Structures are given as C-alpha cells and as structure tokens.
Structure 1
Amino acid sequence: MDSESRGAQVERLEVVATGRRRRWSEDEKLKIVLESLQAPRQVAATARRYGVSRSLLLRWRRSFRPEPKDVADPLGFVPRWW
C-alpha cells in the first residue's frame, strides 16, 4: 500500500476569520436588558435580534438586578430567646 491509497493528504489549510469579539458599552447592555424585560419570553428573541447568546443576556440581566437591601437578616425565622 502506498500513501495515496491510505487516505487523502491535506494540500492546503484555509483559516476562516470569525471576526472580532464585540465590546458592549454599559448603555448598550442596559438598553438590551430593558428590551428583554418588556414582555414574557423576550430573552431569546432579543438575544437573536442583537446577535448575543441567551446565556450572556441572562448574565447581563443578573448584573443589572438591584441588590437585596439586607442580606444578613433572614426572613421567616424567629430569634432564639433561651
């Protein structure tokens, strides 16, 4: 068996450019997040419209969510008295 019959050899390797990573400003992120909150089931549609993944849009939504006021005080527990 010669090398020709064992398999094809690669003669040329083509590199396809996928583009640069986009940078979104805080204002652009906020605009996209607010649009995704307009109606139910808007996350996927909004993500497609702007060309971002749903997981990235959900991460942006969490980052813009207001922080709880008092995390140290758990709700619903009665303090011990003894």
Structure 2
Amino acid sequence: MVETGRRRRWTDDKKLRIVLESLRTPRAVSSTARRHGISRSLLLIWRRSFEASTGDSERPKPAFVPAMVVDEAAAPDVPLHQAAKW
C-alpha cells in the first residue's frame, strides 16, 4: 500500500535506481512502485523525465504527416489500389 500524507525527498541517485529497476522488465511499473512505497504515477513521471534527459531515440516521436488537398477534377485518374503506392 502506498502511504500518503507526508512528503519525502528522493535523491537523484535513488530515483535513477528505481527508474532503471522499472525498465528492466516489461510491465514492472506497478510492482516496482509498490516495492519502493511510491505511487505508480510518480514513477511514470520519473521515467518520462529520465527518457527526456537521455534523449531516448528508440521510441518513435509524434509527428505530422504531410497532406495535400487537390481538386477532384485536377486529380489524376488513378485506381485506388495504385494510389497507395505513391
């Protein structure tokens, strides 16, 4: 059970150890947070902060896809199955 009502201070070193422990195995956030007596949401905040500071390039970043709006009369007469190859 996660205790509430008091504020604790965590050293950066301790936070890093907890984050790395949670990253070791998939789906280990809740169990790691419970083991260290912190909330799952706090651990997720620490993980996001860690990923931002390390420049985690493995995770795809959100991006916009370019789109072009054309008039139907001006559009080439291409069957839909071929249009997907553009």
Same fold at TM > 0.5? yes
Alignment of 1:27 onto 2:13? yes
Please tell me the residue identity of whatever aligns with 1:58. L
Q: How many angstroms does 1:68 deviate by? A: 6.5
1:42 is aligned to: 28
CA offsets, 1:3-49, max 9 Å, x none? xxxxxxxxxxxxxxx66311000000000000000101100000000
Identical pairs, percent: 62
After the TM superposition, which residues 1-82 of structure 1 pair with which residues of structure 2 at under 5 Å, given as runs? 20-65=6-51, 66-67=54-55
Q: TM-score, structure 1 length as denominator?
A: 0.58
Task: Please list every run of 5 or more consecutive structure 1 residues that lacks an aligned counterpart in the other structure.
Answer: 1-17, 78-82
1:7 is aligned to: none
Q: TM-score, structure 2 length as denominator?
A: 0.56
Equivalenced residues, count: 57
Give the RMSD, CA atoms, in angstroms: 2.6
The higher relative CO (CA closer than 8 Å, separation ≥ 6) is in 2
